[in-house]
Amino acid sequence: MYTQGLDQKGHSTPQSAELEDAAQLEAFMLRVGEEEKIEAKDWMPEAYRRTLVRQISQHAHSEIIGMQPEGNWLTRAPSLKRKAILLAKVQDEAGHGLYLYSAAETLGVSRDQMVADLLSGKAKYSSIFNYPTLTWADIGTVGWLVDGAAIMNQIPLCRCSYGPYARAMVRVCKEESFHQRQGFEIMLELSRGTEDQKAMAQDALNRWWWPALMMFGPGDKDSKHSAQSMAWKIKRFSNDELRQKFIDATVPQAEFLGLRVPDDDLKYNEDTGHYDFGKIDWQEFHDVLAGNGPCNKQRMAKRNKAQDDGAWVREAARAYADKHA
Ligand SMILES: [Fe+2]
Ligand SMILES: [Fe+2]
Instruction: Record the pTM.
Output: 0.91
How many angstroms separate the alpha carbon of residue 215 from the centre of ligand 2? 13
Ligand nearest to C-alpha 177: 2
Instruction: Give me ligand 2 centre to Cα 146, in Å.
Output: 8
How many CB atoms are closer than 10 A to CB 324? 6
Query: Nearest ligand, CA of residue 149?
Result: 2
Ligand nearest to the CA of 182: 2
CB atoms within 10 A of CB 188: 17
Question: pLDDT tens track of the chain, all 325 residues?
Answer: 456 655 544 444 555 555 668 899 999 999 999 999 999 999 999 999 999 999 999 999 999 999 999 999 999 999 999 999 999 999 999 999 999 999 999 999 999 999 999 999 999 999 999 999 999 999 999 999 999 999 999 999 999 999 999 999 999 999 999 999 999 999 999 999 999 999 999 999 999 999 999 999 999 888 877 889 999 999 999 999 999 999 999 999 999 999 999 999 999 999 999 999 999 999 999 999 999 999 999 999 999 999 999 999 999 999 999 999 8
Distance CA 85, CA 187 (A): 15
Distance 38 CA to ligand 2 centre (A): 26
Tell me how far the alpha carbon of residue 168 lies from the centroid of ligand 2, in angstroms. Answer: 14
Distances, alpha carbon 27 to alpha carbons 32, 170, 225, 322, in Å: 9, 27, 22, 44
169 CA to centre of ligand 1 in angstroms: 10
Nearest to 151 by CA among 128, 182, 129, 175: 175
CA dihedral sign, ordered 31, 35, 36, 42? positive
Which residues face 276 on adjacent strands? 267
